[in-house]
Every structure is written in structure tokens, then in C-alpha cells.
Structure 1
Amino acid sequence: MKVSYIKYVVFVFLFFISSTSFSQSFSGKVTYVSKSKMELGKWGAKMSEAQKKQIASRLKNRLEKTYVLKFNKQESFFKEDEKIDAISGATDSWGAYFSRGDQYKSISDNKLIQSQEFYGKRFLVKDDLYKINWTLGSETKQIGNYTCFKAKAFVPYQELKWFEFSWSDLNASNKEGQEEKMIVVEAWYTPTIPIAQGPAEYWGLPGLILEVSAQNTTLLCTEIVIDKQNNLEVSPPEKGKQITKKEYAKTVKNKMLEMRNNRMGRGRRG
């Protein structure tokens, strides 16, 4: 039996014997840094390295973000720590239209509540949590002071990107017989903190998720603060028009189609 596998078995055993007493006695706060690789598609081949660096600099607020996760045994609240653009002194308002809003997850009743704003309207998205079918591995690595284990899963694209929008996705969705796109997700969790929580849509592992990667984006924990007195309050957002994930995605799609049709209409009249 390999040493890494023995370590895995020991950690899982410790998780089961300690999860009840340990998880009921504390809450905590985790800071994550999100980094995304810039995708330029076919246009990238025509650009110089200087042009690519210039675009990356302009899109820094979208490519690099900071998030905070507050959690207890059954609940979590995930929110972006918005940064002000050092040059313009403004936030990225256009990018915010298709960014993840403040997100509340309740593991006890399998519920997601997420606040989204789109073109001046506030929505309160309420839906079931998507249950991720994780495959646990024995591979380990150190993240800060915590030994973490690797897990992988295949998750439907729409479950991770329902609040986003792209014209390429729209064109693909209009094709009949289009197969559901799956995304490979790789996560690193620590049984030392036996909480089935994690950043964004990720949860359900036998330990807190400290790093997760999907497509071109990685979320990495940079700080953990444990509150053993369990004084950290976790509560869901409350304001906005109640709507489901599918209904919200449809609302965004219809608005973008309306804008495109209006532009095309003005072009024909001109």
C-alpha cells in the first residue's frame, strides 16, 4: 500500500470521527484570489506580444479578482472584494453585468440564493444547489499550512456559467442536437477543516476546498481565519425579483438579442 494512500485513509478517518464536534464549534472566513487566462481566439494569432500585454493590462480587473467566503457547518456566503481601477478610479461596470453576484449556499436544505444586477434591475436567484459528483484521489499537496487532497469532477457548463453571456454560446445553443458541454473541474480540499464548503459553485467534499480550477480560471486560498467561538454571521441576500437560474439566463439572453436587433435596425435605416 502506497504511503500517499495511507495518508488519505487516515485523513478521511479523522474527518468522520471529528466532523460533528469540530464543525459545530467554529465558523470561518477564507480569502481567495481568482486568476483567469486571457482567451483571444483567432484574433490572438494576429496580435503582437506588446498588443496582448496591453489588452491584459486593460482587462486586469476581469482577469484577477479577490473573493471572500464566510462559512459555518451548513451555510456559506461568497462575495467578490471589488477593486477600484487605479487609472480611471471606477469599477468594471460592463464586466459586472456578467459576473457572479453575492452567493449564499445552504447545504442543510440544498439551496442557492444569489444576488444579480443586470442593466439597472436587481434579481434574487433562488434555486437548488447542483450536486457535484466528485471523484476522490490520493494525490496530496500543501497549501499554506494545510495538507490537501485532489478531487475531480465533470460539471455541466451551464451549471457554472449560467450568469454569464457570450455570443458564441448563444449561437451554439441555437443548434439542434447540440450536446451538453461538460467542464473538467479539479479541486484541492483539506480534511483538517471538515466542512463541505468551498468557493463559488463548488462544495460537497469531505473538507474545505482551498483551490479549484475549471477551464481557464483558478481560485486559490490565500488566507484562512477560523472562528472557534462560532460568532461569524452568515445570511443570504434578500433584495431583488425572485427568479430561477434558467429564468435569469433567459432574461439576459433576451436582453442581449434585443440590443443586437436594435443596432441592426438602426444600421438598416441608416
Structure 2
Amino acid sequence: MKKNISYLIMFLFILLSNFTTNAQDRSGSITYKGIVNEKFVDSFLVAYKKKDRPMSVKQDVIKAMENAKVEEFLLNFKNDESYYYKKPILEDQNYLMGSRAGTTPYYTNSSKDMIIEMSRALGNINKIPLEWEITSKTKKIGNYTCRQAKTTEKLYSRQGHFFYKDVVAWFTPDISISFGPKNYNGLPGLILQIEDREYTLTAIKINLNPSDDVKIKRIDKKDKVISEKESYRRIEEMMSDRERNMSRN
């Protein structure tokens, strides 16, 4: 009887050890496709055509919006960390409209409740985690059943005022990883799609536990990290400097 109990304890210990190891060795790379929403393009063009602009400028902007390019983004994750960034492209798109999903990379460390927006203009910004409301709606994305979650994001404009943006996320509990594109994470499952007024990001390739080591770009210890409140002040300073320079010319 004692021998059976010893075997049972040993079996449970091995099972628990394997589970812990598997939980710690999670890694993967998710590819997202970013596209401009048609409704946004339509509403933008209707409003823009009414503006007082030179016809040549109008034609260039309208052409760029109507021929907006699809962009791809990568989310690499390993254990408690993730790194999200825009996939490099070979062709020159300086004069073409992209997906409007942005180009700023993000670093996340879930064990430290850290979400860093790695802004080229403003520096490393420590983002406040979003609060999600999970609804009863579901839909399929690829082979995964996803649940809907909603949030309202508070942002600061270059004009110096706050505005709010509604965001919808579709996450799958089948992949129990709380990461997603940009600063959208913290849900009980991997986010496969993000929808806002301007763009949609959708996972098109999911590579879990790849044989190659995934690359995570971290914040250097010597790099300064600022708060969202500090980033607002920097935006105001940048706009003041720009207006001052324009008045001199």
C-alpha cells in the first residue's frame, strides 16, 4: 500500500513538473494583416472633397486613400514577454497610404504589468492597461472560435485635447495567451482581430512553439521610460516648437 502511494506521489510530481515546464516554455509568432476600413475611406473622402485645397493636392490624397496598401505586422511572444512591430517591406511606400494601423512597435511584459509604446518621436511610453468588457458575441476566425471584448481608449491629440476611441477585440480562449497587437492585451486568450473606426488587424498566420527562437526586443536598462502624462507634455512642446518655427518662416 505504501509503495502504491509512493508511485502515485512520484507520478503526480512528474506530471506537475511537465505541466510547469510547458507553461513556462510558451513561445510563438503571429502575423497580422492590416487594412483600412472601407466605411472610413468613404466618410473621409466625402469630407475631404469639401475642403478648400488645390485640386492637385486633392487628387493625390484621394488616389492614396483609394489605393491604400495592405500591411503586415508581427507579434513575437515568449513566456511573459511580447514584441509587436511592423513587418519591413522592400518597396518604397513613402507616398502611398498604408493600413492606418500605425508603425510604432510595442513591448509587453505581463508579469510586470508593463506595456511600452516605443515611440520614435516621444520616447518609451509606459501605457496604462485597458479595461475590457467581454460580451456574449462569438465568431470564427480561421479555425478558432473567438469571443468579443470591447474597450474605450483615451488618447491625446496633436491639437492638445483628449479624445476617445472605441475598440473591439476578438480573442480565442483556445490559445491561452494574453497577448495581442499594439497595446491591446490582457484578455483570457490570444487576440486574433482588432477593429476600430479606421482599420482592422486580423491574424493570418499563427506559429506556436516554433523551432527557431523568437526575437523579443526589450527596453534597454539605461533607456528612460516616461508616463502617458509626460508624453502629453512632450506633444505640447513639439507642437509649440513647430508653430514657433512656422511663424519665423
Common topology (TM > 0.5):
yes
Structure 1: stretches of 5+ with no match in the other structure: 1-18, 159-164, 174-179
Deviation at 1:144, TM superposition (A): 1.1
Deviation at 1:76, TM superposition (A): 0.6
Aligned partner (choices 142, 167, 183) of residue 185 of structure 1? 167
8 Å CA contact 1:135–1:152 kept in 2: the answer is yes
Q: Which residue of 1 aligns with 2:231?
A: 248
Deviations 1:233-264 (A, max 9, x none): 43414398524133334323322322222222
Instruction: Work out the CA distance in 2 between the residues paired with 1:115 and 1:92.
Output: 24
Instruction: Work out the CA distance in 1 between the residues paired with 2:106 and 2:133.
Output: 25
Deviation at 1:151, TM superposition (A): 1.1
8 Å CA contact 2:32–2:201 kept in 1: the answer is yes
Q: Which residue of 1 aligns with 2:153?
A: 155
Deviations 1:5-36 (A, max 9, x none): xxxxxxxxxxxxxx977643421100111223
Question: Structure 1 counterpart of 2:75, which letter?
Answer: L
RMSD: 3.5
8 Å CA contact 1:143–1:210 kept in 2: the answer is yes
3-state SS of paired residue (2:165): strand
3-state SS of paired residue (2:64): helix
Task: Check if 1:208 corresponds to 2:190.
Answer: yes
Question: Structure 2 counterpart of 1:54, which letter?
Answer: K
Deviation at 1:91, TM superposition (A): 4.2
Structure 2: stretches of 5+ with no match in the other structure: 1-18
Task: Check if 1:43 corresponds to 2:26.
Answer: no
Q: Which residue of 1 aligns with 2:8?
A: none
Given the superposition, is the C-alpha separation of residues 222 and 240 from structure 1 closer, same or farther in structure 2, using an over 3 Å criterion? farther
- 1:63-102 to 2 correspondence within 5 Å? 64-85=70-91, 89=92, 91=94, 99-102=102-105
- 1:24-43 to 2 correspondence within 5 Å? 24-36=24-36, 37-38=40-41, 39-40=44-45, 42-43=47-48
Deviation at 1:100, TM superposition (A): 4.4
3-state SS of paired residue (1:157): strand
Query: Number of residues paired by the alignment?
Result: 218
Aligned partner (choices 261, 266, 270) of residue 244 of structure 2? 261
Question: Structure 2 counterpart of 1:33, which letter?
Answer: K
Q: Which residue of 2 aligns with 1:107?
A: 110
Q: Which residue of 2 aligns with 1:54?
A: 63
8 Å CA contact 2:81–2:108 kept in 1: the answer is yes
Instruction: Work out the CA distance in 1 between the residues paired with 2:86 and 2:175.
Output: 23
Instruction: Work out the CA distance in 1 between the residues paired with 2:45 and 2:221.
Output: 36
Given the superposition, is the C-alpha separation of residues 90 and 231 from structure 1 closer, same or farther in structure 2, using an over 3 Å criterion? closer
TM-score by length of 2: 0.72
Instruction: Work out the CA distance in 1 between the residues paired with 2:175 and 2:163.
Output: 32
3-state SS of paired residue (1:181): strand
Larger RCO: Structure 1 or Structure 2 (Cα < 8 Å, ≥ 6 residues apart)?
1
Deviation at 1:124, TM superposition (A): 4.2
Deviation at 1:71, TM superposition (A): 1.1
Given the superposition, is the C-alpha separation of residues 235 and 196 from structure 1 closer, same or farther in structure 2, using an over 3 Å criterion? same
Question: Structure 2 counterpart of 1:72, which letter?
Answer: K
Deviation at 1:134, TM superposition (A): 1.4
Given the superposition, is the C-alpha separation of residues 144 and 240 from structure 1 closer, same or farther in structure 2, using an over 3 Å criterion? farther
Q: Percent identity?
A: 25
Instruction: Work out the CA distance in 2 between the residues paired with 1:99 and 1:140.
Output: 27
Question: Structure 2 counterpart of 1:149, which letter?
Answer: R
